Each structure stands twice: as C-alpha cells, then as structure tokens.
Amino acid sequence: SAVISQKPSRDICQRGTSLTIQCQVDSQVTMMFWYRQQPGQSLTLIATANQGSEATYESGFVIDKFPISRPNLTFSTLTVSNMSPEDSSIYLCSVVLGQGGAFFGQGTRLTVV
C-alpha cells in the first residue's frame, strides 16, 4: 500500500485567484494522477504527472488552467488557476502500485466564492 498526504485538506478561495495543492507519497512512484470529484459525482481524471516530463492532460483539461509540477518521485503539485465557482470540487491525487489498484490522498475540498 501507499500513504498519500495532501495539503491543504480544504480551502475557500476568492474567484480569480489560484490555489496550489500538494501531494506527498511515502514511496517512489513513476506516475501520479490528479482527479477531480464534483459534488455528488464520481472521479474524473485531470492529468497524469510523470517525473521529468510534462504532465499528460485528459480531454477538457489544459495546462494553463491546471499546471502540474513533478519535481521528484514522491511529490507533485496541482495548481487551480484563475478560479471560478465552477472549480469548486474535491481534488484528489493518486498512485497505482502494480496490480494493487489505486491509492488516494484524503482529497482537497475547494470552494470558490
């Protein structure tokens, strides 16, 4: 298994500002994944963060809005830029260990006002 710590756990932000979410894993992993979970909904993959290369974004998500850093094999950040109320969601980072399924952080609950 893996232990994943996310910070902050929650935040209330003004529209037009940016928030950077940090994700720390207790082991080295090649890929880290960032998901969004809108209220009452399932998880949608935002991007895959690879160490040493640009993140790979899913359809509907762009780097200018969700820049990602991956400076080493245990850490990643996701920034939600120029926020609007529509960005209010839970943001989750995740890693996959072999065939063992995905492990998630506790999530960052973002409210944009």
Partner 1 sequence: TQLLEQSPQFLSIQEGENLTVYCNSSSVFSSLQWYRQEPGEGPVLLVTVVTGGEVKKLKRLTFQFGDARKDSSLHITAAQPGDTGLYLCAGAWNYGQNFVFGPGTRLSVLP
Cβ proximity to partner 1: between 13 and 102 the closer is 102
Q: How far is the CB of 10 from partner 1 (least distance, A)?
A: 9
Q: How far is the CB of 53 from partner 1 (least distance, A)?
A: 16
| Burial profile 46-69: b = 16 or more Cβ within 10 angstroms, e = fewer | bbbbebeeebebeeebeeebbbbe
C-alpha span between 94 and 106 (Å, rounded): 10
Residue 103 touches partner 1, criterion: CB under 8 A = yes
Task: Give me the residues paired with residue 3 across strands.
Answer: none
Cβ proximity to partner 1: between 42 and 53 the closer is 42
**CA-based R_g, the chain, Å:** 13
- Render 97-109 in DSSP notation, one character per residue: -TTS-EEE---EE
> Binding to partner 1 (CB under 8 A): which residues in 17-76?
30-31, 33, 41-45, 48
Residue 7 touches partner 1, criterion: CB under 8 A = no
Binding residues (CB under 8 A) for partner 1: these are 4, 30-31, 33, 41-45, 48, 92, 94, 96, 98-107, 109
